[in-house]
Structure 1
Amino acid sequence: MVPSVNKLKGLLLCGALFWLSGCTSGAGRLPYDAWWLGLGAPHYMEVWIETADAVDINDRAFRRAMSGVGGSSPKNLRGDPRGWPEHPGAGATKRVLGADLTRLLYVRWQSLVEPQTYEAYIVIPKATQQAMLKGEKAFCKFDSKWITDYRNMLTVGLAPGGIARVWLGGQCLKPIDVARVQADVVEVGPSGGKNEGRYALPLKPAAKAYIEKYGIPYGSW
């Protein structure tokens, strides 16, 4: 069951107090120092991530585990934003230090191409949590070595229409599908309604040119 907004806010407050206390342990049984959170968007479908928060299996919250710009806009309209790549990259990433296995992600973002503001609650299945603990033999092409790798990278793809798609991958392991979530529109608009409806950034010239020529490929994500 997805927690209510008020419950999430309570968890996030506890997370803030947790960090203020100076306690940074919590990876406990993880076979690595920390897991990674990555966010991105299809080519030209630029986003501004207001916040990406995580709640671990011990109900500790980690606020703003990620924020900022997401997406890339190749020049000369060489990119293709339709659908998701077969092997999605990690996007812009950040280590979530001190967290145990995650059970919930909350993402609030501005879809700059529409423009629209969305929020999504993403429940991480137990099967995904268990996969994050399992070491697998993997061949790394970049240095031609076999290693024991772990799927410790959660990647969230954000697309127009409020689509959030999640994968779990590792440095040298193929990503696996985790979830596809339909986000809700944030009625107060960008920046919590505190910015008079203004969005964080203008579109880059390449993104604007793509949208003007081809439009937004709704339904492909």
Structure 2
Amino acid sequence: MSGTAAIQTPPNNGGNPKGWPENPGWGKGKYVTGADLPKKIYVRWQSLVEPQTYKMVIEIPESTRELMRREEKVFCAFDGKFITDYREALVVNLAPGGIAKVWVLGPCLPPIEVTTVKAEIDPRGPYEGKSGGKYDSLTDVSKAYVEKFGVPYGSWE
């Protein structure tokens, strides 16, 4: 499977990119429906700001799988009612330096952080070595932001 990620540059080059979001969203990833809860997730990604390619295996422990099977009563702002809901998504956020953080979340339930994983460098490079070492490039806006503010390595660990 594959997913996509968005590079978000704050308006007018403002804001603070350090650290993880307090309330991670669902993102633009790959949605898999009708499948059993995974025991492992294999992730390989291209960090555009470094540029570097990373790979890792995220082990999903039984305790996380149990969190996703447990129903909870919650007030849902979408419809203004109390409902029974499940945490039905695993969200994997990726950061420069090969750091990934995983949360479980549901439409009306707050996210729960379940693990942080350090990836290893994939020596094949982008596109599993089929690009001749050529990485995708940053947009001009993103490049200007990184040149001005740098990359806050260490803030995601």
What is the SS of the residue equivalent to 2:31?
A: strand
Residues 1:210 and 2:145 aligned together: yes
**Alignment-derived partner of residue 129 in structure 1:** 65
Looking at structure 2, the residues matched to 138 and 193 of structure 1 have their Cα atoms a distance apart, in angstroms, of: 47
- In structure 1, C-alpha distance between the alignment counterparts of 2:66 and 2:155, rounded to whole Å: 30
The Cα of 1:210 is off from its aligned counterpart by 1.4
State TM-score, norm by structure 2.
0.93
Paired residues in the alignment total 156
Is the 8 Å Cα contact of residues 4 and 30 (structure 2) preserved in structure 1? no
Runs of 4+ in structure 1 off by over 6 angstroms are: none
Give unpaired runs (5+ residues) of structure 2: none
Answer yes or no: is the 8 Å Cα contact 1:120–1:164 preserved in 2.
no
SS at match of 1:208: helix
Q: Tell me the residue number matched to 1:41.
A: none
What does residue range 1-221 of structure 1 map to in structure 2 within 5 Å? 64=1, 66-199=2-135, 201-221=136-156
Residue-by-residue CA offset, 1:126-182 (whole Å, 9 max, x unaligned): 001011111101112233221111001100010000001000011011111111000
Q: How large is the RMSD of aligned CA atoms in angstroms?
A: 1.4
Q: CA deviation at 1:215?
A: 0.5
Q: Percent identity at matched positions? A: 54
**1:76 touches 1:206 (CA, 8 Å); kept in 2?**
no
Query: 1:211 Cα deviation (Å)?
Result: 0.7
Q: Which amino acid aligns with 1:194?
A: K
What's the TM-score, normalizing by structure 1? 0.67
| Greater strand share, structure number | 1
**Conservation of the 8 A alpha-carbon contact between 1:108 and 1:118:** yes
